[in-house]
């Protein structure tokens, strides 16, 4: 009888394990299929944003309530899609609210700004913005949002510190704010159930937290974003309980919902990659960590890029090690075949050479990837040091995040294409891809991006620059020209790049050529030569 019971228990265990493994396999397959369709979802998201921009363009700027609503629509569209745009429209909401002199709208806009900064990892700036809110002038609906945001702020701060002394204090303050928010929501509402569950989870009451989150996920009519944050938060409970398999299934659900809703402000893909890495599923871990990196760069989340930057090299190194192990086995089999079948030795030599080429190509790709991560790490450090820098540098760096994101996407597509061609042994197609890179066009595009970014910061630069010359000596631009070489040299100087060697390197001229340009331009000016660059530096940016 005991043997029968033991046998039944073993059969139940193995059947349960098989069912869970099969479910995980199907979920990962669905995740990869959805990730392949990500450009389609992002395109729909962009179309929705473009429609709101058209509505904004058609809005009468004297109609302040309508203008506030148009900015609010664009903020909501960018809210979890792209930080800098969301923050920009939140600032515009605040500007309109101040013109309307309506305290409720002013505080509402400050809450939106606080959410954007918190999502980007700007904790100090978030607290500064929220501290300026006059809570007595906030209606109950917005007051609940304010308290919930403050609760999330302290919870995020505690997660960031992970300190045994400060984290409990931050969690306690977060719970106090959530209590205030919960008192304002209906008890069966989505927000009430989610934030009550979050509070219980942070307080260690896992049973109550699980009940709330499972009740939410069982509801119909949830938005994809609501599904994502609920599933992702519930996964944390399973991780704490040591049930990583169930946590993985929930995180896959969250990532799929994030991709379908074009949500870039998310940590689900990052957490999923770490759990898959622990299960030695390096292939899917690599897919997820690269998705997390792409989302963090696109959205502009500083803390996410730092987190991903710590884990990405580990996963990629493990992936490379697996490739090396596979190549070692292949070489061993090749040697065995050579020993047994001397007649095919010529074929074995060809295979060996191809494997060596593959090894060198993959090594070069990995080194380039490491260099990219190192550059991103330095960029993150620079961003932290420039938090208190002047407005020009902040605007300029924020604008060029998009350029970097496009460049990373190009590199990623190029890498995937090379990988696929190497796998298919289509070496001539690889040569075609490499020879098809147009560095001159890339350089021209970079200069155009610089021109747009600079003129966004200094829209009156050309006019004020021309004021330093007689009418007959002023620079006239062609119809499709934003800046020419003369203007670009002094635009770089206005951005703080004064060394001729650096300017020559950026514009791909010789130092003598740059000196000649500068001398010729100064000589034409109506101000003394020694005062010319000082006058250029006095040209103001936008208010």
Query: 14-54 pLDDT, tens per residue?
Result: 445 545 678 888 988 998 998 999 999 999 999 999 999 99
Task: Write out the residue range of the structural domain in which residue 463 sits.
Answer: 438-538
- Assess if residue 306 is contained within a domain: no
- Predicted pLDDT of residue 48: 94
Does the residue 154 lie in any domain? no
pLDDT at 398: 54
Handedness of CA 339, 341, 345, 350 (dihedral sign): negative
- pLDDT (0 to 100) of residue 96: 93
Number of domains composing the chain: 1
Determine the pLDDT at residue 36: 93
Q: pLDDT per residue over 120-150, tens digit each?
A: 888 888 888 888 888 877 887 789 889 988 8
Residue 327: C-alpha distances to residues 82, 108, 282, 336, 415 (Å): 41, 59, 16, 14, 20
pLDDT of residue 98: 93
Alpha helices in 300-344 (DSSP H): 302-340
Q: Is residue 186 part of a domain?
A: no
Asked whether residue 29 is assigned to any structural domain, the reply reads no
DSSP state of 481: -
- From CA 399, how far away is CA 401, in angstroms rounded? 6
Domain membership of residue 500 (yes or no) is yes
CA angle 283, 288, 280 (to 5 degrees): 40
pLDDT of residue 387: 44
pLDDT at position 248, please? 92
* Secondary structure letter of residue 291 according to DSSP: H
Residues of the chain with pLDDT below 50 are 10-15, 18, 384-389
- Region label for 167, one of left (φ > 0), alpha (ψ between -120 and 50) or beta (otherwise): alpha
Q: What is the pLDDT of residues 290-319, one digit of tens each?
A: 888 888 888 776 666 666 666 667 677 766
Residue with tokens 């820098």: 389
Report if residue 12 sits inside a domain.
Answer: no
**Model pTM above 0.85:** no
Mean pLDDT (the chain) is 81
Query: What is the structure's pLDDT at 91?
Result: 93
> Is residue 386 within 8 Å of 69, Cβ to Cβ?
no
Task: Kindly state whether residue 127 falls inside one of the protein's structural domains.
Answer: no
What is the chain's alpha carbon radius of gyration, rounded to the nearest angstrom? Answer: 28
pLDDT of residue 440: 67
Q: What is the pLDDT of residue 15?
A: 47
375, part of any domain? no
Which residues have a Cβ under 8 Å from the Cβ of 284 and sit 6 or more positions away? Answer: 28, 31, 32, 276
Give residue 92's pLDDT.
93
């Amino acid at each position: 009888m005991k043997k029968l019971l033991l046998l039944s228990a073993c059969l139940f265990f193995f059947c349960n394990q098989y069912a869970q493994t099969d479910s995980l396999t199907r979920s990962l397959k669905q995740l990869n299929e959805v990730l392949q369709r990500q450009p389609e979802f992002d395109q729909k998201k962009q179309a929705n944003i473009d429609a709101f921009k058209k509505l904004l363009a058609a809005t009468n700027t004297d109609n302040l309530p309508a203008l506030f609503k148009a900015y609010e629509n664009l903020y909501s569209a960018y809210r979890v899609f792209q930080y800098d745009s969301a923050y920009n429209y939140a600032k515009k909401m605040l500007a309109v609210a101040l013109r309307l002199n309506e305290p409720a709208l002013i505080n509402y806009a400050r809450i939106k700004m606080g959410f954007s900064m918190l999502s980007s990892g700007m904790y100090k700036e978030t607290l500064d913005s929220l501290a300026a809110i006059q809570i007595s002038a906030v209606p109950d609906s917005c007051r609940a949002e304010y308290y919930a945001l403050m609760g999330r702020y302290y919870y995020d701060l505690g997660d960031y510190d992970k300190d045994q002394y400060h984290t409990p204090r931050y969690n306690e303050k977060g719970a106090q704010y959530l209590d205030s928010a919960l008192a304002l929501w209906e008890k069966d509402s989505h927000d009430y159930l989610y934030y009550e569950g979050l509070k219980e989870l942070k307080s260690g009451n896992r049973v109550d937290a699980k009940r709330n989150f499972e009740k939410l996920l069982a509801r119909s009519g949830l938005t994809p974003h609501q599904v994502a944050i609920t599933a992702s938060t519930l996964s944390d409970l399973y991780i704490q309980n040591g049930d990583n398999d169930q946590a993985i299934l929930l995180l896959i659900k969250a990532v799929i919902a994030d991709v379908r809703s074009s949500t870039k402000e998310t940590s689900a893909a990052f957490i999923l990659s770490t759990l898959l890495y622990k299960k030695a599923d390096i292939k899917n871990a690599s897919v997820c960590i690269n998705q997390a990196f792409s989302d963090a760069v696109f959205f502009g989340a500083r803390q996410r890029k730092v987190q991903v930057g710590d884990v990405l090299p580990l996963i990629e190194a493990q992936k490379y090690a697996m490739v090396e192990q596979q190549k070692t086995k292949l070489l061993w089999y090749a040697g065995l075949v050579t020993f047994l079948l001397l007649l095919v030795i010529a074929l074995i030599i060809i295979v060996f050479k191809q494997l060596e080429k593959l090894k060198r190509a993959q090594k070069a790709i990995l080194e380039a990837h490491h260099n990219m991560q190192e550059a991103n790490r330095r960029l993150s450090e620079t961003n932290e040091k420039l938090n208190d820098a002047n407005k020009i540098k902040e605007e300029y760096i924020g604008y060029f995040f998009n350029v970097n994101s496009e460049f990373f996407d190009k590199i990623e597509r190029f890498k995937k294409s090379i990988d696929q061609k190497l796998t298919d042994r289509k070496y001539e197609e690889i040569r075609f891809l490499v020879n098809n890179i147009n560095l001159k066009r890339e350089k021209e595009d970079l200069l155009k991006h610089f021109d747009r970014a600079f003129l966004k910061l200094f829209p009156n630069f050309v006019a004020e620059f021309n004021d330093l010359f007689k009418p007959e000596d002023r620079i006239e631009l062609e119809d499709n020209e934003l800046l020419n070489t003369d203007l670009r040299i002094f635009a770089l100087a206005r951005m703080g790049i004064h060394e001729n060697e650096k300017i020559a390197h950026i514009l791909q001229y010789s130092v003598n050529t740059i000196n000649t340009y500068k001398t010729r331009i100064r000589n034409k000016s109506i101000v003394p030569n020694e005062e010319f660059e000082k006058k250029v530096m006095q040209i103001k940016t936008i208010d």
